[in-house]
Amino acid sequence: MQLAYMQEYKSGEVFVGRGQHLLKQNTTTDHLYTVLGGVMLRYRTLDDGRRQIVNFLFPGDLIGLQSAFDDEVCHSVEALVDSRLCRFEKQDFHDLIVKHPSLGFDITWLAAKEETALESHLVSLGQRSAKERVTYLAVWLLNRASATGMLEDDNRLTLPIKQAQIADMLGLSLVHTNRTLKALSREGLVDWKPGRIRIADIDKAAKYAEVPRYSKNDRPFI
């Protein structure tokens, strides 16, 4: 646990209320963040207003790694629920990695995991049908949430995700997302009511959406 090092570099805590933004696309930032609590989402907007949610962020996730090497951030980050973050100065980043290499190792670990997640999302968008995508997302969210102890019981997650957000994550229209949710609910595969996801048979759902086996490796928490 690198908490000691981290304290040294931590430059403050940040609270972001539900619906508020931490970062806006095409701006610059001097900070890196780590999610301490809450859930956030990261998205990119095109000029004509189309929006793609790239990923959800859970406690332990790193925000702004890309911006550590590049001036402008190419996505916005918004809180899905009230969230708490740990802030670092970007300029300390090189120093930090060099002085605490095992922390550099953990950061690389997180970056690799994030890449794996994006890869999975990419496969979903590229190859799966609407029903498969929704199921995939539901299972994936339950897995991530479960890893941070956010589940009420084994197959239920309370999280105020709007259908418009599901649509923007999965590359579907809002209307079709709605119909797909209904269909999955009717079939008993995924029961995603406003604000609450429930999956009766998670193995069945995971198999249907071919969600990659959930890695139990402990995620470093920095």
Partner DNA sequence: CGCGCGGTTGACCAGTATCAACCGGAGTGG
Partner DNA sequence: CCACTCCGGTTGATACTGGTCAACCGCGCG
Q: Name which position in 1, 4, 7, 126 contacts a second copy (CB under 8 A).
A: 126
Binding track, positions 157-196, relative to a second copy; x by CB under 8 A: -----------xxxx-------------------------
Residues 58-77 that bind a second copy (CB under 8 A): 65-66, 68-70, 74-75
What tokens were used for 70?
A: 């590049």
- In contact, 84 and 13? CB cutoff 8 Å: yes
Q: Which stretch binds DNA (CB under 7 A): 41-49, 65-73, 139-147, 169-177?
A: 169-177
Residue 21's nearest CA partner among 6, 9, 33 is 33
Answer whether 87's CB lies under 8 Å from 13's CB.
Answer: yes
Tokens of 90: 């970007």
Structure tokens at 97: 């990695």
Contact criterion met (CB below 8 Å) for 158 and 194: no
Q: Which residues would be at the binding site for a second copy (CB under 8 A)? A: 44, 46-47, 50-52, 54, 65-66, 68-70, 74-75, 94, 97-99, 101-102, 104-105, 107-109, 111-116, 118-119, 121-123, 125-128, 168-171, 210, 212, 215, 217
